[in-house]
Amino acid sequence: MSFNNMKLEELRKVAETFAVDHESAKNKADLVALLAEEGVSYDMYSSFNNAEKAEAELEPRKTTGSKPVTELKGGQVLVKMERMNPRYDVNEFTFTKENPFIVMSEKDAQEIFDTQEGFRLATPKEVQEFYS
């Protein structure tokens, strides 16, 4: 299968998933060309889609949950994901749009900051405001 076999609405969802600005696409062919221009291949989409389905079947990993963290133990920091991804796994941590904050050791946080983009330190007050 390929992008050419998909409907226009499906292609728009693919573009949104991969953060491709598709407003300029007037038809299906334009959208397929735009995806290719941005480096999004059908194989990439298929792999991503299959991985998402497999992850949905797994039990979600624990994050900070719905209770705000107001106290940190020594050597722990709050990390916030600011990426546009609906879900992002890095090392043993899972960040989601619903739970973008995770408490972790300073060492784990530094490793994420050194190897990933879209993460920063957060404050307990931010967490409280987000979950309230």
pLDDT at 87 over 60: yes
Contact predicate 69/101, CB 8 Å: yes
Q: Mean pLDDT across the stretch 56-62? A: 44
Worst-scoring range by mean pLDDT, 46-55, 64-73, 118-127? 64-73
For residues 87 and 122, state if they share a domain.
Answer: yes
For residues 13 and 48, state if they share a domain.
Answer: yes
Enumerate the β-bridge partners of residue 121: 79
- Domain containing 47: what range? 3-57
The number of distinct structural domains making up the chain is 2
For residues 51 and 84, state if they share a domain.
Answer: no
Using only C-alpha atoms, what is the Rg of the chain? 18
Residue 38 counted as domain residue: yes
Contact predicate 20/29, CB 8 Å: no
Residue 68 counted as domain residue: no
Residue 63 counted as domain residue: no
Q: Mean pLDDT across the stretch 95-111? A: 91
Q: How distant is the alpha carbon of residue 13 from its chain centre? A: 15
Enumerate the β-bridge partners of residue 120: 80
Task: Supply the pLDDT for residue 31.
Answer: 86
For residues 45 and 92, state if they share a domain.
Answer: no
For residues 7 and 48, state if they share a domain.
Answer: yes
Residue at which a domain ends, from 57, 84, 102: 57
Q: Mean pLDDT across the stretch 20-28? A: 83
Q: Mean pLDDT across the stretch 38-43? A: 81
For residues 124 and 82, state if they share a domain.
Answer: yes
Residue 64 counted as domain residue: no
User: For 44, how many CA atoms within 13 A lie in the half-sphere containing its CB?
Assistant: 10
Retrieve residue 126's tokens.
């931010």
Q: Which one is predicted more confidently, 75 or 107? A: 107
- In percent, the amount of the chain with pLDDT more than 70 equals 80
